[in-house]
Structure 1
Amino acid sequence: MQDSSPRTPIIAPSLLSCDFTRIGDEIRAIESEGADWLHVDVMDGHFVPNMTFGPPLVQAMKSVATRPLDVHLMVSNPIAYASNYVDAGAQVLTYHWEAMGSGTVRGAKLANKAFRDAGAPMVGVSINPNTPVEPLEAILDEVDLVLIMSVFPGFGGQRFMEHTLSKTRWLREQGFRGIVEMDGGLNAETLPLCAAAGADAFVAGSAIFGAADRRGTIESFRRAAVEAMKEPISGSGTVR
């Protein structure tokens, strides 16, 4: 079954690419320039080789932000931090499938319950480019969002991995009616491909924060996504 409900693009600039020396001003500016969500990449230096954004900093972001904080936990033990990030202001809280018992259904179910119990308004699960999507079928009714990584998390300068689009198509072909988000290498060329495959939330860092006209870039991304969403989702859904 394929999701036939109307989709509205969500543009989620990644704060990892903003100017950290003036993060409050950057949040106010990017919201005024059209951001729908603010994507917050949390890294623990273990699950991925980088460290960013502890709960106190997210709380500081929340004190300025008026748009939802889309907090992506790239950490080895996401359950241990769920309450901290919900209390800090996360409105979307996403964990990695791979962090839960090497990607087991039981581990994911534990994370889903823990995130709900912590009070997360929206719960998401993310998978890396080399992780099969089909096992997620067992938990699709428990999550609000699936985040498909189109690059490997924690490494900069990677190219968009087009094979990940088949995972997005597969989710829609299974009838998943939640939000499908894509993150990694999104720009003017790749974002419409994501939208055409069934994604409705789009994370972009340097493509937005590095643009000379950030408002115009966000507007062009939104227009491109809307146009791509008009076409029926196509493709075999074969996952590579």
Structure 2
Amino acid sequence: MSASVLSADFTRLGAQVREAEDAGADYLHLDLMDGRFVPNLSFGPMVAKALRPVTSLPFHAHLMVESPESYFDELVPYCELITVHAEACLHLHRTLCRLRELGVKRGVALNPATPLCHVSHVLDEIDTLLVMTVEPGFGGQEFIQSMRAKIRDAAEMLAHCGRQVELEVDGGINHETVQAVVSEGATVVVAGTAVFQHPRGIRAGVDALRLP
């Protein structure tokens, strides 16, 4: 489970990240948005730098930005995994090779309307395939139910790619939808509102996402 800080209380960000780690989160998900690739602004690499001394959780930087390559040098010292959007990369394979040269794990994200065939040529270069199950840009959205078939197809594609690639699902994940995405083959789920805005606190939010 990857806890998305986009839904955290930024006046208490360090404390809430520590609480998420103590509650059993496996990763910290950092959504960088530039207001151009998506219609929202979030934060930049300085947040990864500021949080790095606070937690031992691995950081996943999800770049919802144009020209993602311009962020790499600032993020690599702090992030174990960097994911770019296929829709934002004119030369996706070249971009992923650059991340490999920088020594970090690599991911590719797909918007809901983007077919899986857009990543078939780079499966040898990725560690994570991130399937968006909401339109990117804002937290707290409702899970798009039709994406279940896409998750299922992605799991099948990765099962036959000849290497281990995580299938991560991001968007509308809560205690009601997590079972569905895992049953379709997701290996990592991203949750923000369900964790950081749970009415009974962060630990209860993390616990609610754990499958029996």
Tell me the TM-score range normalised by the shorter chain.
Answer: over 0.9
**Equivalent of 2:102 in 115, 118, 135:** 118
2:76 equivalent to 1:93: no
2:46 equivalent to 1:63: no
- Report the counterpart of residue 187 of structure 2 in structure 1: 200
Q: 1:156: Cα distance to partner?
A: 4.4
Deviates more, 1:156-165 or 1:44-53: 156-165
Once residues 220 and 158 of structure 1 are traced to their aligned partners in structure 2, the CA distance between those partners, rounded to angstroms, is 18
Q: How does 1:1-150 map to 2 (within 5 A)?
A: 11-87=1-77, 89-101=78-90, 107-120=91-104, 122-150=105-133
CA contact (8 A) 2:7 2:139 kept: no
Once residues 172 and 201 of structure 1 are traced to their aligned partners in structure 2, the CA distance between those partners, rounded to angstroms, is 12
List alignment gaps of at least 5 residues for structure 1.
1-10, 102-106, 225-240
Once residues 50 and 141 of structure 2 are traced to their aligned partners in structure 1, the CA distance between those partners, rounded to angstroms, is 30
2:168 equivalent to 1:181: yes
1:146 maps to amino acid: L
2:95 maps to amino acid: A
- Report the counterpart of residue 232 of structure 1 in structure 2: none
Once residues 86 and 196 of structure 1 are traced to their aligned partners in structure 2, the CA distance between those partners, rounded to angstroms, is 33
Q: 1:143: Cα distance to partner?
A: 0.2
Q: 1:84: Cα distance to partner?
A: 1.3
The alignment's C-alpha RMSD in Å is: 1.4
Once residues 27 and 155 of structure 1 are traced to their aligned partners in structure 2, the CA distance between those partners, rounded to angstroms, is 20
Q: After TM superposition, where is structure 1 displaced by more than 2 Å over at least 4 residues in a row?
A: 155-158
Once residues 42 and 180 of structure 1 are traced to their aligned partners in structure 2, the CA distance between those partners, rounded to angstroms, is 20
Once residues 21 and 220 of structure 1 are traced to their aligned partners in structure 2, the CA distance between those partners, rounded to angstroms, is 25
CA contact (8 A) 1:82 1:114 kept: no
Q: How does 1:158-237 map to 2 (within 5 A)?
A: 158-174=141-157, 175=159, 176=161, 177-211=164-198, 212-224=200-212
After TM superposition, the score normalised by the length of structure 1 is: 0.82
Once residues 171 and 49 of structure 1 are traced to their aligned partners in structure 2, the CA distance between those partners, rounded to angstroms, is 27
Deviates more, 1:160-169 or 1:144-153: 160-169
Q: 1:53: Cα distance to partner?
A: 2.2
Q: 1:220: Cα distance to partner?
A: 3.0
Q: 1:203: Cα distance to partner?
A: 0.7
List alignment gaps of at least 5 residues for structure 2.
none
SS of 2:76's partner is helix
Once residues 149 and 16 of structure 2 are traced to their aligned partners in structure 1, the CA distance between those partners, rounded to angstroms, is 34
Once residues 81 and 138 of structure 2 are traced to their aligned partners in structure 1, the CA distance between those partners, rounded to angstroms, is 23
Q: 1:119: Cα distance to partner?
A: 2.2
CA contact (8 A) 2:68 2:84 kept: yes
Q: 1:167: Cα distance to partner?
A: 2.0
1:187 maps to amino acid: N
After TM superposition, the score normalised by the length of structure 2 is: 0.92
Once residues 206 and 13 of structure 2 are traced to their aligned partners in structure 1, the CA distance between those partners, rounded to angstroms, is 19
- Report the counterpart of residue 136 of structure 2 in structure 1: 153
Once residues 142 and 198 of structure 1 are traced to their aligned partners in structure 2, the CA distance between those partners, rounded to angstroms, is 20
SS of 1:180's partner is strand
